[in-house]
Amino acid sequence: MISKEHIINRFVSYVTVDTESDPKSETTPSTEKQWDLANKLAEELKAIGMQDVSIDENAYIMATLPSNVDYDVPVIGFVSHFDTSPDFTGANVKPQIIEKYDGKDIVLNKAENIVLSPDYFEDLLQYKGQTLITTDGTTLLGADDKAGITEIVSAMEYLINHPEIKHGTIRVGFTPDEEIGRGAHKFDVEKFGANWAYTMDGSQIGELEYENFNAAGAVVKVKGKIVHPGYAKGKMVNSMYIAQEFISSLPRFETPEHTEGYQGFFHLCSIEGEVEETTLQYIIRDHDLGHFEARKEVLKKLTDELNSQYGREVITTEIKDQYFNMREKVEPVMHIVDIAEEAMKQLDITPLIKPIRGGTDGSQLSYMGLPCPNIFAGGHNFHGRYEYVPVESMIKATEVICKIAELTALKQQ
């Protein structure tokens, strides 16, 4: 039985290390502080008895748990990322442990009146009676994806300490910079050497995902003309007003707050503007490749229309693809999803097979030759002050890893 206290202590030791990534940085990892946890993880893997532990010049960590059977078993892998999102601060995380959650409001921060309430976050009620780890309301928690790392390390430790559980060779990999879309960019798939892998990067217990968004980012730059406002008639061109036209011309209800399931969206992430120039940052998401391409065309056509309307190039739009739907790469090897589903069922977990409304390292790794579905890590409300994780979900995720390893070996007998 995996110890609750052991899981809590390990998780807290990870989330209290600030590993926020930085999309504006050009280094890997994007922030120097990610090395603090990376080096800690490498040493911890050695301490629990993992073999071939390596950490490269970009902070990618890999390690091996050798097979304990005398027949051939496919090499499988488990992958998580140790950076946290730049959407909300990850500095000075102060986890709060709520024993036997009673189903009522949780006061995260009394001084600032920050409350985690099931009236707004209904998923909380699934975990009544369980142990929750929350923030203190001033930071994110970092369960995305330090819960996944906790589960992988704990599963490897458990398998090492319980050799009666038969398994083939298992590879683990921890990456920087997943939250800024670069987690797989310098991942050495050949060195990793697995036939397939699983990212432990999902949310609620039972999630099992092999579909994700096709994704692109767009930078829209609007050019204006600044003159003295007292003498501006017929001369000033305010770029912020043109940017407003661009924003309002896109479908109002095709945004994250109005979509779900397989529905795609345009998401305006940031605006930086003055009269002379305004920059809009968008992300474009859709599960269907045809719809995804059509969304990119909408931005291009709108840019052309506004330039034509103003009689000159007032807008430039640069669109870059970020990742693609892993379904195309996983469907030919669906047995890897079947194994994970069977593992959950044997552990009395109801599998929730659904599309990811986002992306993981696994989506890029699948296109790099490492098919890589995604499994729940247990956390909720990622990237913000209301993030929490049930400890029981982390324990179950740890058990799923062990069971996948066992089933993979059994199927080769």
Residues 6+ apart with CB under 8 A from 412: 71, 72, 73, 74, 168
Give this prediction's pTM. Answer: 0.89
Query: For the chain, first and last CA: distance in Å?
Result: 26
List 136, 178, 201, 399, catalytic entry: 178
Residue 44 confidence class, pLDDT cut points 50, 70, 90: very high
**For residue 146, is pLDDT > 80?**
yes
Distance CA 114, CA 109 (A): 5
Residue 181 confidence class, pLDDT cut points 50, 70, 90: confident
Q: Note the pLDDT of residue 101.
A: 97
Residue found by looking up tokens 């009395």 in the block: 348
Beta strands at 61-65 and 96-98: parallel, antiparallel or unpaired: unpaired
294 close to 258: Cβ distance less than 8 angstroms: no
Packing angle between helix 34-48 and helix 143-161, nearest 10 degrees? 10
**For residue 155, is pLDDT > 90?**
yes
**For residue 145, is pLDDT > 80?**
yes
Distance CA 219, CA 279 (A): 7
Residue 83 annotated in active site: yes
Q: What is the pLDDT of residues 194-236, one digit of tens each?
A: 999 999 999 999 999 999 999 999 999 999 999 999 999 999 9
Peptide bond into 145 cis (omega under 30): yes
List 18, 44, 83, 399, catalytic entry: 83
Peptide bond into 118 cis (omega under 30): no
CA distances from 45 to 35, 52, 57, 94 (A): 15, 10, 18, 25
Residue 201 annotated in active site: no
Q: Note the pLDDT of residue 58.
A: 98
**For residue 360, is pLDDT > 90?**
no
**Does an H or E element contain 278, and which?**
strand 277-286
**For residue 357, is pLDDT > 90?**
no
* Torsions phi, psi for 47 (to 5 deg): -65, -35
Residue found by looking up tokens 């929730």 in the block: 352
CA distances from 44 to 53, 120, 143, 310 (A): 10, 38, 19, 61
Mean pLDDT of the chain: 96
